[in-house]
Amino acid sequence: MAAKTAAGKTPDTKEMRAKAVASLSKHIEAYETAGTSGAGHWVGIPDDVQDWHFVRFNRSSPHHREVASLLLSQGYLEAKDVAPSARMIGFESDGDNKMYLCCPPEVRVWHQNEKERKRRERFSLMEKDFGKHLHGIPGKIEVDIR
């Protein structure tokens, strides 16, 4: 014999199961997106450019303007032309000062390789200039403090 509700009706367990599963699915989706929907995360990026690199600049900062200008000359594009709906959460107060740039993975890889090459170059110069002195210090130094 089936259980009855307070109103005297027999509950539709299939419908209740479907509601419970739908509710759990919504919860899981919300939980999984919560980590990527906080401040500093990008939203509104179309599927065909999900693998692109997006960066945010504030036009009121001279340094930001300088870096953005450099990136624009090195393959980056204004995001408004590629993904007009793209935005970064938490920086809505930038208003008209915001500037978003983006680039395809190929351009990003070139930039990353160039940064690494310059880092190695700086390290090599520093090693050349200071390495002979640093490596010339004896392994053990005794200091007597009285």
Kindly tell me if the per-residue pLDDT of 112 is higher than 90.
Answer: yes
Calpha distance 36→45 (Å, rounded): 13
- The pTM for the full model equals 0.60
87-102 pLDDT, tens digit per residue, is 888 887 888 899 999 9
How many other CB atoms are found less than 10 A from the CB of residue 101? 20
Q: Which of 26-30, 48-52, 60-64 has the lowest mean pLDDT?
A: 26-30
- The larger pLDDT score, comparing residue 2 to residue 43, is at 43
Cα 42 to Cα 33: distance, rounded to the nearest angstrom: 12
- Token pair of 139 as six digits: 């392994």
In this structure, of 3-12, 21-30, 46-55, 83-92, the range with the lowest mean pLDDT score is 3-12
